[in-house]
Structure 1
């Protein structure tokens, strides 16, 4: 089970980080950042499998691929912004982490405009004239 491996790695790195933090705080931060990247890379296979399934479902249902790709980009922005904000938070920079999160939300809103436009147009077409 992958989750046991991930949690085990997280616990080991946490203990090492707490020990190292007293003498070399920069190494503790780098260790935590590296571990986050390793966990993300470990999950890349799972993420790509989910994307393939979603693409197959979109093709079968006739949904335009541009909408699926936009939604996947939005999800990617959310994950990357959260990951970056958590790393910056680990470094003790809460205000910068907040700015990263706000930037992610704004980029998500910008990318969602085409989808929102199509939804509004569809609803307007369904309303009686």
Structure 2
């Protein structure tokens, strides 16, 4: 990922949003959402080497199952955060809160099997 590319894209996007705001105010939320999605796509592509490295390291350590849950939880958190910020940019704070709540519930549901294993291990240790 080239941070200068991200900064340049952000500045050009800012100019576009300011221009759209002056010409057609009603298109600003759509413009901001589209720019956010484009930037997110670029950032996700840039993350693939990092995820590959972390996945290989997790496989070598023998913690692949736990690691996959961790990566999925991180993906849920990031996706919900980006979506909530786009909702806030469009003036929909209530919807943003619901997206964040859905993400938290999703992470809890995702982590239930690990919690179950942890409780079984604790039960075995106490016996």
| Cα deviation 1:39-92 (Å, max 9, x = unaligned) | 1221233322122112211111111x3322221111111111111111111111
Q: 1 CA distance for matches of 2:5 and 2:52?
A: 25
Q: 2 CA distance for matches of 1:120 and 1:89?
A: 39
Relative contact order, higher structure (CA 8 A, sep 6+): 2
Unmatched segments (≥5 aa) in structure 2 = none
TM-score by length of 1: 0.83
Unmatched segments (≥5 aa) in structure 1 = none
Runs of 4+ in structure 1 deviating by more than 3 angstroms, as ranges, are 119-127
Question: Cα 1:124–1:4, aligned 2, differ >3 Å: closer, same or farther?
Answer: farther
| Cα deviation 1:5-33 (Å, max 9, x = unaligned) | 11221122123212311331233222222
TM-score by length of 2: 0.84
Aligned residues: 127
